[in-house]
Structures are given as structure tokens and as C-alpha cells.
Structure 1
Amino acid sequence: MKSTTLVCAVSAALCAAAFPLKAEELLAKQLAGPPEEFSAMQRPAIAEAPIMSKSAVVPMELSAKGSSWSTRLPAENGQLKFAVVNPGAAPLELSLQGPNGQQISASQMSARSKRSGIFEGGVNLPAEMYELNVAGDGEWQLNARGSSKTAGRALLILEGDPDDMLASWQANDSQKVKQPVLIAASLLSDADAGLVGPMAQRLGRLQQAKLSITAPNGDRSEVPMFDDGQHADGLAGDGVFGGRFLPKQAGNHLVQVVAHGRAAAGHAVLRTAEHVVPVLDSDLQLGAAGLSVSKSGEQRVQISLPVATAKNAGHFRTYAEVWGHNAAGEPVAVAWIGGMSALSKGQLTLNLDQRWLDRSGAGAPFELRNLRIEDPDHFVVLAKADSLALPLQRAASKAAGDIQIDDEMRQGPRPVAFDSAKGTGSRLLLVHGYCSGGVWPTSHFSNASTFLDANKSRSHDQFAQLIKSFGNTWNSYGVVAHSQGGAAALHLYTYYWSGLDNAGSGRLIQSVGTPYQGTNLAGILATLGSWFGVGCGTNDNLTYSGASSWLSGIPTSSRAKVNYYTTSFKSTNWWTNDYCNFATDLVLSDPEDGTTEKAKGQLSGAVNRGHTNGQCHTTGMRDPAQYKDSSRNATMNSNAAR
């Protein structure tokens, strides 16, 4: 079949569709699921998705020609391995002085460097890599001298021993203007154990730490971190440090933990962790009136949730658990309900299919538990309640257990507006990722159309709305996606009615290199963008914590629609270091594709189609780009739903 390709350059009108929608335009699904999914739909616990860092990112600023800059770098395991990202026209003159007076001159440093760069997420910056074997451990002084005529900035990325990991996490869930944000950190002995905080066994101990904060307007500040038991740091003297800052404006704040400590072996360690913290200016709160319930169909009820706000509009992500009681008065779990809900006349709505009540056998009194309302772009909790009385009057059903869960119970009825506004024909949509362009070779696909929102940073929700608007041309479609495009397609299928719901048999969503659990590179790219004024902007959905918050609203039934692939660099031999990009390799855990770590590219509940060595995330890296694999593309094309 001959390939047909259509490129959509997103216009201003289309971009507008990604932002606050009216209730009649939302076409949101009325999500629900059984009690067995309660745990999977819960918000991640504090410290559940920490940044695990083996590296340090150090800003370098030289004021003018001939000016100098220096810092101390700890050698670990007899090795110094670092990259200097330098967009300046002239190179820096670097030299090293060891703890015992050893000297490595600028000319010797130049002879030991490898040149490449960071080419990802709209960042295109040259870099030089240095890997030096030194005698023993100790702190070396790195000296840099500027040779350009004007002031310049560079960035140092230092890799340490991956057995000495810095774990850093946000220690509270407050992310509103003028409410404190708490960040904690500690050194861990086993990065794979997933243990953080006072209960973790440590290789060494932090000795001092601070928070370096860049506000959305570019203002920079620093605050100390403490191990005194009063800064969300556990017990005083337990090796966990905590710090807090008070955001004064809305937007993404870049918060870097800068930590110095000692490994168990006694040598110094320097680590940083780069957090992207979205802060919202919201006054949304639950209204004083109670919940109200009305019939919305033959077997459905609509639950109206009063909210009060003078600042917020648009739509919100909601979640709640429905509980009732049995004849003995014992609590019975019924179902979870939620999805996207448009704010209308001071109310948000949740919907419940009464078959969930029949299936559970529960009767009155009913209540909503663990209610939360989140913004749709950052998944920050704006309001919550542990329990609210739900005025449903229903006796326990004798049909308990006889109800088979179907799509309408999980997604709600198809809206009339959706069925009456279908496009024509079917397509396979080829979707790119964050801050990217049309990457898929169109000749590898048939009956395919290329979505293009070139070089932009979008939240998953905004991205999904744009895919939906583009896809409205056709009645049905499947998706082949790269990187963030896979998460955006899953978000679209989960929350909104679209041509994905009309697709025929086959694989509905296929993705390659999608960081479903986030990537440490999100914070690094934010640091690069902030320091050098490059890139497409920060994207907190792609951080570890942001991805974890997003996934807490994605049910298993939606995840099952995804088929995904991961790749990583080609391993050449056991005695050399392999990488896709040497600069990003310093901050990512192997195996990785230069952007996405294999471990963080996994999506629980989806179909893992395998891992390929010798392919990198994008062009400009050491191995071929993963989206150019003609064999895999042919497989995805032939198996795709349309």
C-alpha cells in the first residue's frame, strides 16, 4: 500500500485547543474501576520517586577575558570523569592540581579530551569530556581560564561512583504560592533498594548541603539544609538533610540540591540533584455545601462536588473512592471514580455506574473517601478530603458478584457530541516527543499521517489535546509515538473520547523510548536551559516525581492498550565505558538510550515488546536513532490499529 503522509504544523488556533476548554468541548471519559485498583491509583508516598544521583552539575561563570574560576573535585576510585559544556566561541583553558601538588597542565588536559555535545530537548551545546586516572582518592582543584573577550558561562558535569548515590525527594505535597516546599536528601548504599530516609543503610554520610533555587523569573537564591530533625529530615543527626523554601510566584522552580559528604571508604563525594517543582497560584477549595446526587441515565448517577475559587477555571483531574456498608454495618469498597472534570457553576462532577453498587453488594450509608482534585497539567493536589458523606439511598443488592465489568462501566457512555462529529476514514498517527519534530521515516509506514508540534514543551494534557485536535480529521486512528508522545497518547486514550476509541483491531498505542517513569535528564535539561537560555523550557511531567504523580491516575485498563519498546547503547567490550551521549551518560543509570533509562521506560500493565541494544534516543548520538529501525517500524506498521 502506498504511504500517504500529512504534516500538521500547529497553528495558533490549534494551540489554543490545548488550553482551558469549555465543559461542552471537553468530551471527557467518566472513569471508574474496581476496588482491586485502589492501591495503584493512590498518590505516590513521600520519597517514593526520589532522584537518584551519581553526579554533580556545577555552574561555571567567568566574568571577562583572562578571568579565572576554580572548584574542588573529589576523585573516586582513582578516577576523575567529567564534561564541560561550553557554548562559548573560544574554549576554556583547564588545568588540575592534585591533593599532593600534582599538576596536569592545560595542554595535557586538551590532549585527554573528547569532543561531542548535548543534542536533546532543544539543547544543542558543545561539550568536552575528560576521563583521567589519578593516583588514589582525594580532592583535585580544577582551574578554568576564559580566553574570550566577554563574560561567559559553562557547566561542569562530574560523574561519581554509582555505589555512592544521593537520594533526594520532595518531602511534602505543598506546591502553591507562599506555601513552603520541603526537600530532603541522603546518601544511600543501594540505589536499587528503593530505600530513602532514616531507614536506609548508608555507605557514607552527608556533611553539608544546600538548596540552590532558580525561580520562574530567573531570580536565584540559596538556602541551607539541616540535619536537625526540624526540616523534614527525620531525626537529628541521622544523616538526612532537609531544607525549605517559600515560592513567591507561580511556575516551574528549578531546585538543585548541592551535597558534600564522605563515603564509607573515607573519600569525599560531591553530588547534586535537580528538581523541577511546579508551583501554582490556586485558591481552590471544597465548598461548604455537601455533595448532591442526581440521575444522569438509566443506570448512572452524577455526583456534584461544590468548590470555591476566584482564580481557577478550566478542567481538573479528580479521583475518589466510593464506599458503602453491608447488612452488618461493616464498610464495603464499591469502586473508584474520577477523570477530567470541567468546572461549571462552582461545581465539578463525578459519575458512577450503579452496576458498581450491584457488583459490590453495598448499601447505605455511602461515602467518598480519599477525594483529591488536581490541576490537569502538573497533577498538583489543589484540594482533598479524607471522607465526605454521599447521599445515595440504596439497599444492598442480592446480585453481588454477578456483574461483569464492561467498557461503559469503566469509561462511561459515549457522548452524543462525539458520535455526531466524526471525521472520515482511518489513519496511523506518527507522533514525536518533547521539544522535537517529525522524526519518523514516513516511507516505513502506510496510511500514515505525521503530527507535528515542532520544538515545543507541552504538558501531557496539552500534548494530548493537540493530538486529538489533529486526529479529528479521521474517524479512527492508532498511534506510533516516540518519547513523550507515548505518554501523551496514553493520556489521551485514558481521559478523552477520540478517534482512538473508534480504531479497529491491532495495537492501539505503540511507543519507542518513552520515559513513562520519568528521566533524570528532565532536571539536567532544565538546568542547561536556565543557565544558557536555550531549549524549550522545563517539563515537570518528565521528571521522576512528575511522572509518578501522573501515573497515579492512569488505570490498568488504559495501560493495557500500550505496546512499548526500549533501547540502549551498543556494548562494545567489558573494559570500556559505553554510552549514547557521553555527557548524559554521566547522569543516567545504565542501560540507557541517552535520554531514557531502561528501568524508567517500563510501564506496568502494558505490553513490553522488548529491548534493543545499539540504538540511541535521537540523532546526533553515538549509535543510530531508535526511530529509524526499519524492521521494528515495519512490525509496528503491520500490527497497528487504525
Structure 2
Amino acid sequence: MSSKTTTEYEGWLSYPILFGVRGNVSGLSSRYRVYTSHGSSIRVYQCLHCVVDKPHGAQKSKEKSRILPKSNWHSHIHYKLRMNSMRACLFLLCLWFVSIQAFAVEKEYRKQLAGPPSEFHLHVLPDPSTQLQDEDSAFFELSLQIDPEDEESLAVSAPLVVDSTATFAFAVVSKYESVIKAELTDARGDSVDLGVYASTNEHFPVGDYKIPTTIYVIPNPVQGTWNLTLRSNPSAALDRQRISEIAAESDPNVAVLLWLDNGFEIYTHLTTYDNYEGSEIGLVATTKDKSNRMFEGRATVETAVMDLTLPSGATVAVTMKDDGFHPLDEVANDGIFVGTIVASEEGSYKAKASLGGIHSDGTPFIRTTQHVINVVERLLTLTGDAFSHSSESVKDRMDVRLVVDPNANATQRRGEKVYRAHAEVYGTNLAGEKVPVAWIGGMTHLEEKDGKETLKLSLDMRWAAMANATAPFVLENVYVQDPESQIPLSRKQSMKLDTPSIVAEYFFTAVERPTTITKEMRRGRAPEGLLPKRSAEAKKGLMLLHGYCSTENPWSDSKDLFTNGYYFLNPSASITNEQFAAKVIEFGKSNGLTAYAIIGHSQGGMVATHILNYYFTGLDNLDTNKRLVQSVGTPYQGTTAAGSAANMAKSFGVACGSNFDLSIDGAKLWLSGISADTRENVYYYTTAYPDGGFFGDYCSLPMNLILQYPNDGTTEIKYADLPGANNMGTTKKWCHTKDMKYASQCTDKTRNALMNKNAASN
């Protein structure tokens, strides 16, 4: 039996702020390293024989440490090192430089991706109008205020618009859930005994955080407007100071989710993915019957509003219009409403669309959906020019240079800022006809070539040989994405690729036509010496990744089942797939791993796929007859709850914010870069509760107000599918995380043992 060892790793708990820049500090010098911690203190290690960039605690036996106040830790270090003012500035500048490089992956690791024309469709950027989000519920936020009738208590009221005669349910989600009580009157004004309908001790999950929730399920309701009042419970014995503090909170501290069982829904989508500061962003909304996606006049919309929370925290309410003047609403009064606003800030916007009105029988209704909208600085644009030349490093490859027009910030970040570029290559056959050659893509950076600012891609000319194609070449479906936000920065439908005749002639005559597509044609050639040869000398391991907003590694409970397990942890984090990937790659290096497989939970599965797709790492140094990437509960196509989770996190002080990569829109944009070659090496598992419908079984009852069945309490099976990958099936009675109705899917010993057995690292 093989020996089993485990290695724990904990990511940095918080980050210093230097010159306004946040980042990781993993090493300062051969004498000092700094690590921040929760609270108001900072730990400073004096390293007697330290190696810079070792993980926290790697050489505790050779380090002396002191706990210093964060407010003046730098003064202590300056004094200890006896720095003069110039050396102190250099010291802080080094910290800043390390911090901005924290998420970068060295350019030598980047794969030069390519594939045949049959895969062109996989890499077309999605149309936002096809990424519909539909809900049969409504979400609204409230703020507890001092009760005008009793200054020693808190209260807030809200209408509940009920248009179902079968059942309706509502959830009260609040960090103060234990000290408030709910009072309800129906549409006739009669008081409702909520104790009969309450399901207590529930929670709304935001990653590993659980926000206290009470669910009320009310059968056979009277249609109309009900009234919900929330009051502080006298038994909670809140003093006046505490009541005043709660009432003064700037963010909402109560959320109400209302679900209605009558088949009537709102569905919405973003107006565009070209979301730049200074550009127009917004939502499109309409209502529908579940049986028919078209608007048929069953309901009259009387109010249509888009509520936006800006990155700065400011809020804006925008009236959505059905006047036929917007390109996405070509006909007035057709039931399609559009709301837009000019984006005044960069960052993550939280958007809620609300449609209210009356059904044909006069019954009122309200439905809402929630979205995350990323807005970025437009760092560069494609000029429409492109040129090529022989590769400077690899024989039989042609470098393709996309000429761009960068702004000042992009120029300053040349070589540091990473972009994802893509193009379809067409050539000319001997008959003079245009023929498809291949798609090319990958991560790249801004660099100057022949006096022009360019982004470099690479084409293995064996693709041209397979297509019997030569110059002139044309590029189509060309675009550049920001991998930190997934937002397309620039697109061109077509551009001519200038190719020197001597280069074209050489490739056409010198490159042999291959009979099969090789890995090198698909991924490029790994830099010499970057990866060790497959041998007994390679240090192998199985890396286990957590997901979004995790406080612990969920695989740690099954350490006895994983061979050579390495448990990554970056606690309470909400970061992009690209940022997450950089941390995981660095984690592998810090543990000396030269060959590894990955098992990922939730977002961790997307991250593992991202690494395999874009970067040469230890994943590429294993036998692919076994499994490189396996995942459980991963929302490869996003999750409906992403917008709700973002609002909950903000309102209730959860450390994690919105994550566009996990939204339906962000995930689809991310998927446009994942190659068929990568997908073939991904094996994914899903779980769900046993029975269908809201009133069957469940993993998280509050999440059932938002998610579609089947789901695992966070990830819907509908959106867990990764086309082209290996679907290993859905197991019932396992949920996404701990403290749900059934056990965490990461603790299934049978599946864990099977994944360990099949991992390519074993």
C-alpha cells in the first residue's frame, strides 16, 4: 500500500495596504518577512536562515517573531533595521511591487492554444440575450428602524404581493433573526398565526457562511396585498444604545424572499457585455408563463424599475421603459422593458429588476431578478491591423501580432497586465479560395514590436498544412477579453493578417502536413526545462481545492482517503478564476510539486479547469490515461444565486463580495475560452436532494426560493454541465456544504476513494 502524507497550507489572512495597493506579501528579504493577521496586530518574523517566499510557518524553528500593532508596524521594522529614509522608501516600494505581482503567472507558463475549425463555435462570445435569468419570486431588502410607537424597540414593515391561490412562501433573512419576530396580516386584514407555518433554524448560505433564516410556507392564500411587520422581540432585551446602533446602520439588515406557486415568472438579461466606464449598461425584462416563453398579455406591467448598487455603495433607481426606442425593445408596448444607465464607476454593480402590475383578473403581482454587472476600464482597443513573422523561439510556428491602441494605464502596465486574445485564422488554398485553418488564443500581454503596440498569439503552421492553406491569411471573430472581469475589451469581425511572402513561402514548402493533431499543435511547446521529465524523480501530489468564500478546505475531513494530498486554503475569499489559479500554481511551487492532479469543489473545479487550459504546470506532467481534473458541485455555467449572494454578503457583513465568474453571465464568458482539449480531461460529479419541487425534499430551503430543481443547495444541475467534459452523474442525498439537509458532498467516502484511485497523480 502506498504511503499517505498530507500538507496543510493557509493563504494570507489579510493584506497590507501600501500606497493604496492591496496584495499578498510572501517575503521581504533574507532577514525579515511580514504576515498580517485578523485584528489590530501584525506578526513580523526575523529570519535567521530563511529563504524568501517560503509559506507561512515553513521555518518556524529558525525564526523569531514579534506581535506588533498594525498602526505602527513599519516604524518598528524601520527602527530595527536602522534604515535611513531612502532605504525605508525602497523597502515599502519592494512590498508594493510584490503585492501587484501577487496574482500574475509567469509568461513562460502560458499555453499557445489552438484547435480545428470544427471548434470555432465553442469560442464565440455569448449573446447576453440568450443568458436568461428567470424567477417566480421577489427579493427586497429592509432596514430595521426605531419603532415610532415604542422608542425601545425596532420595527419595519413591507407589503407582500400574493398572486397565488395554491401556496406562497417567504423567508426572513437577517443577522438579527434571533431578536426579531414576524407579524403578518392577509389581504383581508386578518392576522395570521405564523407559528403554524414557520420553519426555524434555517440559513441562507454564502459560501461557508450561514445567515440565519426563518421560512414561512402558507397554503391556499387569499390573493392580494398582505402586510409583513418585523419587530424586535421584547425577550431579546435590547438596550437603547444597541437599538440606536442597529437603526443607524447604513446597509439593509433584513432581506425578504417571496416565492409564489402559480407558474408566472419574470425573465431578464443584461443589455450588453461591453461594459466600460462611461458606457451604457442595463437590463432587459419581461414576464412569461412557464408553459410559454412569449409575452401573451396575461399581465399588465404597471411599474418597471432597475435598482442599482454602484461599486462605491451608492444606489440608483432607473425606470425601465417599453417605448420602442431602445434597440432591444423595437416595438412599444410589447411587454419588453429596458433600463439603462451610463456607468460612472469601475467595479461590480449589483442590479435588481422589478416588474409589478396586475393580472387580467385584477390580481396584483411582483417579480424580481438579480444580476451582477462588471464594469471595467477599457485599457485598449483593436486597431484592425495585424501582422505576422516567424516565431522567435520555436521552429514551424508563426507569431501573430494583433495591433492595439492602449491607453496610458495599459502602457504603464505593459508586461504585467494579462489579456485573453482569440482569433479564427483563414487562409487561401491553391485554387485561391478562402479556407478555415484553425482558431488560436490564450493569455498574452502588451508588448512593442516593430514600433507598434501588440498582443501576441501563435500559430503552429502544421494547422495551415493540414488545411492546404497559405497566404493571404485573414483573421475573423477577433476579440480581447480582460480575464480579471471576463469583459470583452475590443472585438473585430475581420482583419487582414499581413504576412511577408518569404515567410509564407517557407512555411508552405517546409512544413510537413501532419496526419493527426498533436498536443504541441493544440497547446504550444513548454519552455525547455520548465517541466521535469516523467520519472520517479518528479514530486507528485494531489491538490484539493475549495470553492468561493470558504472558511476551511472541505476535503480535509477525508484526509485518510487521499494519497499525497495537498490542501489549499485561501479563506473567506471572493476572487476571479484567474486570480485563484495564480495562487494555486504558486501553492504547487511552494510545496515543490512538479506533477499533480487536482480535485476541486465548487469554484475550485472551474479554477482547476482554468489552470489546465491556460498554463503549463504540474498538470501537464502526468499520464493522461488517468484523470487530471475532477470536480464536485462546480457551477461551470454559473448559478442563479450569484446576485442574491452578492446582496446578502454586502448587507450582512460577510467577508466575501460578488463574484462575476460565478454568475450565469460571467461563467458563460469564461467558458468561451475553454478548449475542447481541456474539457476532455475534466471529470465532474454533481449531487442533489432526492425529490423534485419546492415542497419535496431540499438541501437549503431558503435557496429553493431562488434555485431551480434539481440542485445541491447552491449549484443547479442545469448549470453544472460542462459540454464536452465527462459527466460522472448525479448522486442523491448529498448537499453542497455542511449544515444543509444532507451531508456535505465533499464527505462522500465512496466517491472520494474513487476520485483518489482515478487521479493521475496516483
Does the TM-score normalized on the shorter chain lie above 0.5?
yes
1:9 aligns to what? Answer: 10
Among candidates 114, 136, 140, match of residue 58 of structure 1: 140
**Distance change >3 Å, CA 265–CA 327, structure 1 → 2:** farther
Deviations 1:460-518 (A, max 9, x none): 01111111111122110001111000000000000001000001241111100000010
For 2:361 and 2:568, locate their aligned partners in 1 and report how far apart those are by CA, in whole Å: 53
Deviations 1:140-196 (A, max 9, x none): 2223334552345211011123732221101222211111103101123348x8x6x
2:343 is the counterpart of 1:247: yes
2:116 aligns to what? Answer: 34
For 1:6 and 1:469, locate their aligned partners in 2 and report how far apart those are by CA, in whole Å: 15
**Distance change >3 Å, CA 625–CA 173, structure 1 → 2:** same
One-letter amino acid of the counterpart of residue 439, structure 1: P
For 2:371 and 2:265, locate their aligned partners in 1 and report how far apart those are by CA, in whole Å: 16
The answer to whether the 8 A contact 2:531-2:621 is kept is no
For 2:641 and 2:362, locate their aligned partners in 1 and report how far apart those are by CA, in whole Å: 29
2:165 aligns to what? Answer: 77
Displacement, 1:237? 0.9
The answer to whether the 8 A contact 1:93-1:145 is kept is yes
Among candidates 697, 703, 707, match of residue 584 of structure 1: 703
Deviations 1:276-330 (A, max 9, x none): 1111122312358643423333210111223222113311001001112234433
1:183 aligns to what? Answer: 283
Helix, strand or coil at the partner of 1:139: strand
The answer to whether the 8 A contact 1:428-1:640 is kept is yes
**Distance change >3 Å, CA 562–CA 113, structure 1 → 2:** same
Structure with higher RCO (Cα < 8 A, 6+ apart)? 1
For 2:579 and 2:232, locate their aligned partners in 1 and report how far apart those are by CA, in whole Å: 42
Helix, strand or coil at the partner of 2:568: strand
One-letter amino acid of the counterpart of residue 225, structure 1: M
1:302 aligns to what? Answer: 399
**Distance change >3 Å, CA 43–CA 19, structure 1 → 2:** farther
Helix, strand or coil at the partner of 2:599: strand
In the TM superposition, 1:394-413 aligns within 5 A as 394=504, 403-413=515-525
For 1:26 and 1:435, locate their aligned partners in 2 and report how far apart those are by CA, in whole Å: 30
The answer to whether the 8 A contact 2:128-2:665 is kept is no
2:465 aligns to what? Answer: 358
The answer to whether the 8 A contact 2:475-2:496 is kept is yes
Among candidates 438, 463, 468, match of residue 585 of structure 2: 468
State the TM-score, normalized to the length of structure 2.
Answer: 0.79
For 1:640 and 1:201, locate their aligned partners in 2 and report how far apart those are by CA, in whole Å: 52
Among candidates 498, 501, 505, match of residue 391 of structure 1: 498
2:191 aligns to what? Answer: 103
In the TM superposition, 1:192-271 aligns within 5 A as 204=299, 206-231=301-326, 232-262=328-358, 267-271=363-367
**Distance change >3 Å, CA 33–CA 574, structure 1 → 2:** closer
1:447 aligns to what? Answer: 564
For 1:389 and 1:574, locate their aligned partners in 2 and report how far apart those are by CA, in whole Å: 54
Deviations 1:63-94 (A, max 9, x none): 22344322232141332201000212653332
Displacement, 1:387? 1.5
For 1:386 and 1:609, locate their aligned partners in 2 and report how far apart those are by CA, in whole Å: 38
1:502 aligns to what? Answer: 621
Deviations 1:189-238 (A, max 9, x none): 348x8x6xxx6667645432111111111111111101111233342111
**Distance change >3 Å, CA 575–CA 166, structure 1 → 2:** closer
**Distance change >3 Å, CA 407–CA 290, structure 1 → 2:** closer
**Distance change >3 Å, CA 162–CA 99, structure 1 → 2:** closer
2:127 aligns to what? Answer: 45
Deviations 1:242-289 (A, max 9, x none): 000122111101011112144577643321111111111223123586
**Distance change >3 Å, CA 400–CA 240, structure 1 → 2:** farther
For 2:479 and 2:658, locate their aligned partners in 1 and report how far apart those are by CA, in whole Å: 25
For 2:173 and 2:365, locate their aligned partners in 1 and report how far apart those are by CA, in whole Å: 21
The answer to whether the 8 A contact 2:186-2:222 is kept is no
Q: In terms of mean alpha carbon deviation, does 133-142 or 390-399 score higher?
A: 390-399
2:58 aligns to what? Answer: none
1:114 aligns to what? Answer: 199
Displacement, 1:39? 1.0
The answer to whether the 8 A contact 2:385-2:497 is kept is no
For 2:440 and 2:684, locate their aligned partners in 1 and report how far apart those are by CA, in whole Å: 27
2:481 is the counterpart of 1:374: yes
For 2:260 and 2:582, locate their aligned partners in 1 and report how far apart those are by CA, in whole Å: 41
One-letter amino acid of the counterpart of residue 647, structure 2: T
**Distance change >3 Å, CA 387–CA 446, structure 1 → 2:** same
For 1:489 and 1:317, locate their aligned partners in 2 and report how far apart those are by CA, in whole Å: 17
For 2:137 and 2:533, locate their aligned partners in 1 and report how far apart those are by CA, in whole Å: 52
- Give the number of equivalent residue pairs: 632
Q: In terms of mean alpha carbon deviation, does 425-434 or 396-405 score higher?
A: 396-405
For 2:5 and 2:363, locate their aligned partners in 1 and report how far apart those are by CA, in whole Å: 60
Q: In terms of mean alpha carbon deviation, does 608-617 or 393-402 score higher?
A: 393-402
**Distance change >3 Å, CA 69–CA 342, structure 1 → 2:** same
Displacement, 1:8? 1.4
Displacement, 1:406? 0.8
One-letter amino acid of the counterpart of residue 246, structure 1: V
2:752 is the counterpart of 1:633: yes
The answer to whether the 8 A contact 2:446-2:455 is kept is yes
2:718 aligns to what? Answer: 599
One-letter amino acid of the counterpart of residue 132, structure 2: P
Displacement, 1:123? 3.3
In the TM superposition, 1:274-289 aligns within 5 A as 274-287=370-383
For 2:223 and 2:513, locate their aligned partners in 1 and report how far apart those are by CA, in whole Å: 65
For 2:655 and 2:297, locate their aligned partners in 1 and report how far apart those are by CA, in whole Å: 36
Helix, strand or coil at the partner of 2:756: helix
The answer to whether the 8 A contact 2:280-2:343 is kept is yes
The answer to whether the 8 A contact 1:18-1:463 is kept is no
2:526 is the counterpart of 1:414: yes
The answer to whether the 8 A contact 2:399-2:459 is kept is yes
State the TM-score, normalized to the length of structure 1.
Answer: 0.93
Displacement, 1:347? 2.2
One-letter amino acid of the counterpart of residue 546, structure 1: G
Q: In terms of mean alpha carbon deviation, does 148-157 or 76-85 score higher?
A: 148-157
Helix, strand or coil at the partner of 1:184: strand
Helix, strand or coil at the partner of 2:606: helix
Displacement, 1:598? 0.9
For 1:574 and 1:461, locate their aligned partners in 2 and report how far apart those are by CA, in whole Å: 36
1:482 aligns to what? Answer: 601
1:157 aligns to what? Answer: 257
The answer to whether the 8 A contact 2:532-2:621 is kept is no
For 1:258 and 1:133, locate their aligned partners in 2 and report how far apart those are by CA, in whole Å: 25
Structure of greater Rg: 2
2:82 aligns to what? Answer: none
One-letter amino acid of the counterpart of residue 309, structure 1: N
Alignment RMSD: 2.6
One-letter amino acid of the counterpart of residue 170, structure 1: L
One-letter amino acid of the counterpart of residue 235, structure 1: V
The answer to whether the 8 A contact 1:206-1:240 is kept is no
The answer to whether the 8 A contact 1:361-1:400 is kept is no
One-letter amino acid of the counterpart of residue 322, structure 2: D
2:672 is the counterpart of 1:557: no
The answer to whether the 8 A contact 1:188-1:202 is kept is no
One-letter amino acid of the counterpart of residue 311, structure 1: N
- Percent identical among aligned pairs is 32
